[in-house]
Chains A and B, each alone.
Chain A
Amino acid sequence: MGEILKVDNLTKRFDGLLANDRISLTVSEGEVVGLIGPNGAGKTTLFNCIAGYHSVNQGNVFFKGKNITNLAPERVCREGIARTFQLVKVFNEMTVLENVMTGAFLRTRNRRRAEDKALEVLEFIGLYDKRTLWAETLTLPDKKMVEVARALASEPTLLLLDEALAGLSGAEVNQAVELISKVAKKGMALLVVEHVMEVVMPISDKVVVLDHGAKVAEDKPEAVTNDPRVIEAYLGMKYAAKHRTN
């Protein structure tokens, strides 16, 4: 399988803070890559750099062989990368269907075709029955699914999910995980950010671990769980959390 996304030595600084420190990673066609790391590790920042929301200080991003470093977000999307946001950004004053149609309009000007495409995606994602509801009236898990549906409707080849599962209950997580596998089966590549390790392990072909802005591991899920640097990154965090509560 060919590699479609290549992040090469990417560095992003916020004033003094090194949020992404010479990060390299690749995603191949149809591959599910988990991106994990404790809060503040730099996962969202990396997403924003790939998707064109932050300007990169150093390094490059290649997509399907094309250098897309520092391309505007809308251009990145047209290349075939769609994303969701950690803090949900649904279009509140639109119905669920209209939200998804907005994504579908990327590939067609025709309203009917956009609507058909949107309905198809809603069916696929299990939101068909809620299509006429106003997005602002939805629960948080549903809003997150609307974001996923909206992104899918733009027919990307790579989908970036930023903590799409955070805040979901046990049953909802299972549903969402199933959905991600279904999306992957369609041949779409996925880069999935989660800070809870357990969730991404079963669905990922490969896991990349960030800590304090740097990549500390990149391997098969089983291998990553036993990597001492990963354990330390997570244990370190848990110790700190314990100290705070005590």
Chain B
Amino acid sequence: MTRQWKYILGGAALLLTVLFPAVFNSPGALHLMILIYLYALLGMGWNILGGLTGQVSLGHAVYFGIGAYVTSMLLVTFGISPWLGMIPGVAVSVIISLIVGYPCFRLDKHYFVIATLCVGEIIHIIFLNWEAVGGAIGIWLPIMDTSFSNFQFHKTKVPYYYIILSFLLIVIFLTAWIQRSRLGFYFRAIREDQDAARSLGINAAFYKMVAMGISAAITSIAGTFYAQYLLFIDPPSVFALILSVQMCLLAVLGGKSSLWGPIIGAFILIPLSEYSREFLGGSGQGIDLMVYGALIMAIAAFQPRGLIGLLQPRKGK
């Protein structure tokens, strides 16, 4: 594809997403799109560490949950606007991610996956039993006036749509910048071969922590949005293992070493799981998992680089 065509297609896609609410303004359509963008954001956050740097985490729900809980608790107890609360949310997530990363990055890749999974489950259990933050019951956020500074909009979902779209666009630009910069080269070098990377002066331990921190920060912001959008959080909805699995799956399905992979993944996976839930009623949750399993097997067998591999064939470049 030539550069020109890329700009034309990119511009058209941007125009479509920006104009979407003007055409499809039913709450259902908007809700679906908001979910897709939210998960795309999660997939892209996961992808900085898991795809670009090759360190597969199955505990990223932790940062999503922390982002959601820190902003919600600050709002409920001190009345702090979620926009401000997002900052300590990110800070706490990044600190926790570095505490997790420091020992876990010393492990072999496979043990790293297991360690992150365990940390995720431990934190889930801690929150289930932590009465001061609502325990298993969770937190209802106070209903406030519709306003941007309150991060609440009651008449229409359109503002939420634009907020999450803006977050996503920022992260797309951030990722594109990382990929082109030295940081991105170093991340990929570590993914491809850590020993070789180190032979070129790359401090692998340090750069893995950087990737972890960026990844956790993005995931945490998504958590803040989620809490404001639903106005209710409890441990299963933000700390569940399935969330961590979904983040990973989106990226792997779409193409985990590419910029657009997680977005493609979200556009396929989220409608699929929403509709399977709708069609199959209350037991839909189990069906989701079966669909995920089948998809993973299909991807592993036919298109290991993810669906993006169909659009960008290898050889040359």
Contacts and interface: CB of A to CB of B under 8 A. Distances in A.
Contacts of A137: 314-315
B244 interface: no
Nearest to B200: A103
A91 B199 contact: no
Interface string A134-150: 10010000000001001
Contact of B200 (A95, A133, A150): A150
Interface residues of B, number: 25
A154 B200 contact: yes
A33 B36 CA distance: 60
Given A111-B180, A111-B182, A74 B192 contact: no
Q: Is the interface of B mostly helix, strand, loop or mixed?
A: helix
16 contacts: A51-B199, A72-B203, A73-B195, A74-B201, A78-B201, A85-B199, A89-B195, A91-B193, A102-B188, A103-B200, A109-B182, A111-B180, A111-B181, A134-B315, A147-B196, A154-B201
B257 interface: yes
A27 B191 CA distance: 34
Given A85-B195, A111-B181, A133-B316, A91 B188 contact: yes
A93 B200 contact: no
A43 interface: no
Nearest to A108: B182
Interface of B: 180-182, 185-186, 188-189, 191-193, 195-204, 257, 314-317
B186 A91 contact: no
Listed from nearest, the 4 A-B pairs whose CB atoms lie closest are A91-B192, A89-B196, A77-B201, A73-B198
Nearest to A78: B201
A53 interface: yes
A102 B200 contact: yes
B186 A82 contact: no
A9 interface: no
A89 B193 contact: yes
Contacts of B182: 105, 109, 111, 114
Nearest to B314: A134
A147 B193 CA distance: 12
A83 interface: yes
Contacts of A74: 198-204
Contact of B189 (A102, A133, A147): A102
A166 B90 CA distance: 51
A101 B193 contact: no
Q: Which of B198, B200, B257, B315 has most A Cβ within 10 Å?
A: B200
A231 interface: no
Contacts of A133: 316-317
A92 B193 CA distance: 9
B192 A92 contact: yes
Contacts of B180: 111
A98 interface: yes
A214 interface: no
B195 A93 contact: no
Interface in A71-123: 72-74, 77-78, 82-83, 85, 89-95, 98, 101-103, 105-106, 109, 111, 114
Contacts of B181: 111
A56 to B, nearest CB: 17
Contacts of A103: 200
A77 B200 contact: yes
A67 interface: no
A102 B197 CA distance: 8
A115 to B, nearest CB: 11
A151 interface: yes
A175 interface: no
Contact of A105 (B186, B198, B204): B186
